[in-house]
Amino acid sequence: NAGVTQTPKFQVLKTGQSMTLQCAQDMNHNSMYWYRQDPGMGLRLIYYSASEGTTDKGEVPNGYNVSRLNKREFSLRLESAAPSQTSVYFCASSTPGGRDFWSTEAFFGQGTRLTVV
Amino acid sequence: AQKITQTQPGMFVQEKEAVTLDCTYDTSDPSYGLFWYKQPSSGEMIFLIYQGSYDQQNATEGRYSLNFQKARKSANLVISASQLGDSAMYFCAMRERSTGNQFYFGTGTSLTVIP
């Protein structure tokens, strides 16, 4: 099973360039997430989507946009990349799992290492 | 206020010894779940163990156990019989009923197992 697939795995951008990080999951999960990971700061939520057609801001949404294209796919777009966006980006998915949805874990993609120069 | 606090940036443990990684959490919601993830140097996030707020017993998964002290709002991960392959970053996370789909992560603890 593929699980959560992110592309690309590595990317170098120049300041001001744009790019889209792609994420797809094949587990029929309703919820999808984008996190960034920086040294000493853990994982910080950028955006999430509770279900197809909905998106919500997380802790650090500035400079990013997202699209929940369908139930499987959730993309993250950097319109004008800045050096501060150099980070490792993780896509994740989870399912409400019925009554006790808070008991279900998140499944992560392999991450995208983005460098903005 | 931080939802999840991990106060140990780095830990060392001798191979075959047990180690405890600390995690405290902050919530007023009676319904929540606590998760631990492992991130080896290769970068992937691996789910290890889950503890629910209504669970009466501490969770265990092989060599991993969770020391859940609800009144103190702590959910420490215990790794028994450490192996070299346990060297990694470990993250504690929480999910609440009230905040719906969000997962809150701590800043992580880097564990090094010494041969």
HSE value, Cβ hemisphere, 13 Å, CA-based, for B70: 14
Mean pLDDT, residues B82-109 taken together: 93
Q: Do B50 and A108 touch (CB under 8 A)?
A: no
Residue A100: predicted pLDDT? 73
- Name the nearest CA neighbour of B80 among B58, B95, B93, B65: B65
The rounded distance, in Å, linking the Cα atoms of A84 and A117 is 10
Q: Which residues of B touch A42 (CB under 8 A)?
A: 4, 6, 91, 105-108
Nearest-by-Cβ selection for B50 from A35, A58, A105: A105
* Amino acid at position A14, single letter: K
Q: Which of residues 37-76 of A touch B (CB under 8 A)?
A: 40-45, 48, 50, 58
Cβ atoms of B107 and B2 closer than 8 Å: no
Residue B91 has pLDDT above 90, yes or no: yes
Q: Which pair of structure tokens corresponds to residue A106?
A: 């998140």
Lowest mean pLDDT: which of A29-33, B19-23, B70-74, B96-100? B96-100
Mean pLDDT, residues A100-113 taken together: 89
Given CB atoms, is B105 within the 8 Å cutoff of chain A? yes
Residue A102 has pLDDT above 80, yes or no: no
Residue A104: predicted pLDDT? 85
The rounded distance, in Å, linking the Cα atoms of A61 and B79 is 35
